[in-house]
Amino acid sequence: MIYLPGLILALAAFWFALSGETAPLFLMLGALSVLLTLWLVARLKIVDRDASPYHRAPQMVIYGVWLIGEIVKANVAVVRRILGPTHAIDPVMVNVTSSARTSLGRAIFANSITLTPGTVTVDVDGDKLKVHALVRETSSAASFAPMDRKVAATADGGKS
């Protein structure tokens, strides 16, 4: 039940962002819909740390900014490889182990890899990820370690 306040705020903000209504009737209906949703998720017992990660919003924003920087760097590297004189693309499949303890952390890690140009997460089995990368010499399991550490710190809590 500790995660309900964050969920209340997130649902209310989401409702208001979509509706933009300030009339008392609409505000009452919005509050009623948020309360009904909270009652349903509490009754189904699905409100937990992964379902309500709003307490980690500041860390998620910091990670998002870092990830955007990595995406830009990877874009530049892929464009150089493709437009360069030798077209130095040598695809490889890499097995990577995630240190994230939660499914949320593993999902963020897999999606972050896929968002980064030149890499795609092909399969996830527990904490093992199979990644397709365009460049063999820069794609090893160790090359994904900084992202893995940041995701684990963001999603699971801890130091990056």
**pTM score, whole prediction:** 0.71
pLDDT at 115 over 90: yes
pLDDT at 32 over 80: yes
Q: Which residues pair with 47 in a beta bridge?
A: none
pLDDT digits over 129-150, tens only? Answer: 999 998 887 788 888 999 999 9
Q: How far apart are CA 17 and CA 13, in angstroms?
A: 6
Q: Give me the mean pLDDT over the 52-67 stretch.
A: 83
pLDDT band at 52 (very low <50, low <70, confident <90, very high): low
With left for phi above 0 and alpha for psi between -120 and 50, is residue 8 left, alpha or beta?
A: alpha
pLDDT at 64 over 90: yes
* pLDDT at residue number 154: 86
pLDDT digits over 90-104, tens only? Answer: 889 999 999 988 888
Higher-pLDDT residue of 5 and 64 is 64
Contact by Cβ (8 Å): 81, 135? yes
* pLDDT at residue number 1: 56
pLDDT at 159 over 60: no
R_g of the chain, CA atoms, integer Å: 20
pLDDT at 51 over 70: no
Q: How far apart are CA 118 and CA 155, in angstroms?
A: 24
Contact by Cβ (8 Å): 4, 47? yes
* pLDDT at residue number 148: 92
* pLDDT at residue number 137: 79
Residues 6+ away with beta carbon under 8 Å from 87? 81
